[in-house]
Chains A and B, each alone.
Chain A
Amino acid sequence: MSSALSLKQSTLPALTDDRLVQEASSPVISNGDDRTPGPFIRRYLAALPKPPISPAARDNQASSEADSLPVNSRVLPKIPALQMKLRSTYHALQEWEGYVQSIGEEEFGVVLCDLTSPQNAKSTTTLPISDLTDEERQALDLGSIFRWTIGYERTPAGQKKRVSRIIFRQMPQWTDAEIAASEDAAKKQTESIVWD
């Protein structure tokens, strides 16, 4: 975390390392080093207190152009290269969305949809339950939906290694209203069919 930015953390929009790095590392490069900040950092910058300016300095300013500029055209402060290096980065080479088709004692069977190359047909495989974290194991159930990625992780020490990650999607819960609505619709649907 950048110390300069973390000082006002408590009174500003929550700023996480991941969020900052994500926006700072994927800006629109418009002119050399100029970086157009993303919406999250724009909100952050807008909430920053103005730095005190001495009367002399204020007199030297031809106008308050900087203040009148839209927030999104301000220049994002550069994050020192050293701080960027302290974080791991991850580059996904392959991503699937899958669902759990079967669960055995040691493995679970999955059907996979290729998100990296959607034209590829669906695949199936089995994955070891032991590869899941305790939290992911709680989410393991028939029909559970997950993302599986394989890619490169670059560590702060500069090491590059292949990693495989499975993350179960946090799906919303059914509500009483949704269940009631589906039951009402079901009655209408069965009545619309000519049964013999």
Chain B
Amino acid sequence: MPQKSKPKASSGTDWNIPPKPDQIEVTLLGPGFGEAVLVHLGSNQWLVVDSCLHPDNSSAPLRYLSSLGVDAKQGVVLITATHWHGDHIAGLAELLKACPNAIFVCSSAMKSDELHAMAIAYSRQPAVANGTGVAEIQEVFKTLGASKQVARRATPSRKLLEIAAKQSAHGQPIEIFSLSPSDEEINLSLLNLTRAKSRNTKKRAVDRNPNHFSVALWISIGDVKILLGADLENVASPLSGWSAVLNEPTRPKGNAAIFKVPHHGSENGYDAKVWEELLAHEPHAVLTPWTLCGRILPQANGINLLTSHTPNVFMTAPVGTPKTEHLLHPAVRAELRDQKQRLKAAQPAMGGVRIRNGGSSDPHQWTVDLLPPAFQISS
């Protein structure tokens, strides 16, 4: 199916217009600190994937829904935590509390007693300015326990949600599937846990699990398909990462018109077979940049791989983060300069890419709105 797009820079006024009931929308917010995807499935039914913070430290997806006039309590039907890296879960507990009717989806590893013990042990550490590293996950667990919202475990090709055609204005059936993680990935993720051990010095919890343990999603709304790649990477094992997804015989079929590029456009997240077997011709590809401690994604090679497949690549913000030295005492700046050290903000600027279709009358006509500093990447 040929894809058409009309990218345009969007002002605040345009950005606040909600989708029509029969319109499908995919919005990617980030980085701020992390990224979040919102999908309007139709008739004010929303899926939220991951969470990130707006620069004012509020939940970015909640803020976006509020700007559209959407009541998150009624509108959000499914929340997915793709994996427990800091750049994907910031503000997740706040989001969950605001959406008590939503089903929560996460990896099966989240049910493990070992993971809960790790989170509890780290959360009981002495106060540290940077936090314990597990506060968000612990708050999510506590919220789930108190609210009795269903926590649904993602496995390959599992149908997470099904909404009948008659329940949406576009008249199309809605199905959402998880594509990952595989059983092997779940077992490996538990082996990689940063366990608290007796007589070990207490530390802040740091993300150690590889990205290929994350939950990729497949959304089917009639013949419109959407692939949200989380941070899933391509690894050597055929039982892990994109290989496991592609080798799964029961995975849902079709070619996605919208692709949330995995792992911030890293080369590790690229698999040519994904573009051949899971995506439509010249799909809309959206991604957020990432930076931490001097490492930056995407790199030029990763961008070249994306633009070799489609001209419709959009990123929510430029790579890199602003320097923060100007906030410091001149003598401190001089010392940093002498040491050739550069301080960068941990939370870069946030932008957004929103893609909407033409509703039930023109479901394959896509319009792109950009919330600055988002931009289209040219080949």
Contact = CB atoms under 8 A, between A and B. Distances in A.
**Interface size for chain A: under 10, 10 to 19, 20 to 34, or 35 or more residues?**
35 or more
B344 A143 contact: no
Contact of A164 (B150, B335, B344): B335
B196 A98 contact: no
A115 interface: yes
Interface in A139-155: 139, 141-145, 150, 152
A93 to B, nearest CB: 5
B121 A174 contact: yes
B120 interface: yes
A24 interface: no
B293 A102 contact: yes
A173 B293 contact: no
Given A122-B130, A182-B121, A193 B141 contact: yes
B129 A195 contact: no
B343 A124 contact: yes
B206 A110 contact: no
B203 interface: yes
A94 B339 CA distance: 15
Interface in A88-147: 93-94, 97-102, 107, 109-115, 117, 120-127, 139, 141-145
Nearest to B199: A173
Interface string B111-145: 11110111111001110111001000000011011
Interface string B187-212: 00000001011111111111010000
B292 interface: yes
B165 interface: no
Contacts, number: 189
Nearest to B347: A121
A179 interface: yes
A80 interface: no
Interface in B85-129: 103, 111-114, 116-121, 124-126, 128-129
B345 A94 contact: no
A192 to B, nearest CB: 3
B307 interface: no
B68 interface: no
20 contacts: A94-B329, A94-B332, A101-B293, A112-B346, A121-B324, A121-B345, A121-B347, A124-B321, A124-B343, A125-B341, A141-B201, A145-B203, A172-B126, A173-B198, A173-B202, A175-B199, A179-B198, A187-B113, A189-B145, A194-B149
Given A144-B201, A171-B201, A178-B124, 4 more contacts: A124-B291, A141-B201, A186-B120, A195-B111
| 6 closest A-B pairs by CB | A109-B293, A143-B203, A192-B145, A186-B116, A186-B117, A182-B121
